[in-house]
Amino acid sequence: MTATKDEFFNPAKLSARDKAAVTDHTARSIIAAETTEREKKTEKLRLLREEREAAQPTAPRTKGKKASG
């Protein structure tokens, strides 16, 4: 089976408005996907941080005296 240029290129010209709409739709879908992934990662890291902080014993901080020179 040979490939023809009609399979790869759209023979009909798109208007500038249609091109802009396609670009806008594509960009918005990419941004939405990135936002979803970032939120998942943030939630995962927050849960890990909270687990780590809960596992560590909390010792009260004491102020130390400075050594005199």
Domain coordinates in residue numbering, the chain: 14-54
In which band, very low, low, confident or very high, does the pLDDT at 43 lie, cut at 50, 70 and 90?
A: very high
For residue 21, what are the CA distances in angstroms to 27, 29, 36? 10, 12, 22
Q: Mean of the per-residue pLDDT values for the chain?
A: 86
Bigger pLDDT: 48 vs 11:
48
Q: Is the pTM of this model over 0.85?
A: no
Mean pLDDT computed over 1-26? 82
pLDDT tops 60 at residue 44: yes
Residue 8 has a pLDDT of 72
Copy the structure tokens of residue 58: 């909390």
Please enumerate, as own/partner, the contacts of 37-46 that have beta carbons within 8 Å and a separation of 24 or more. none
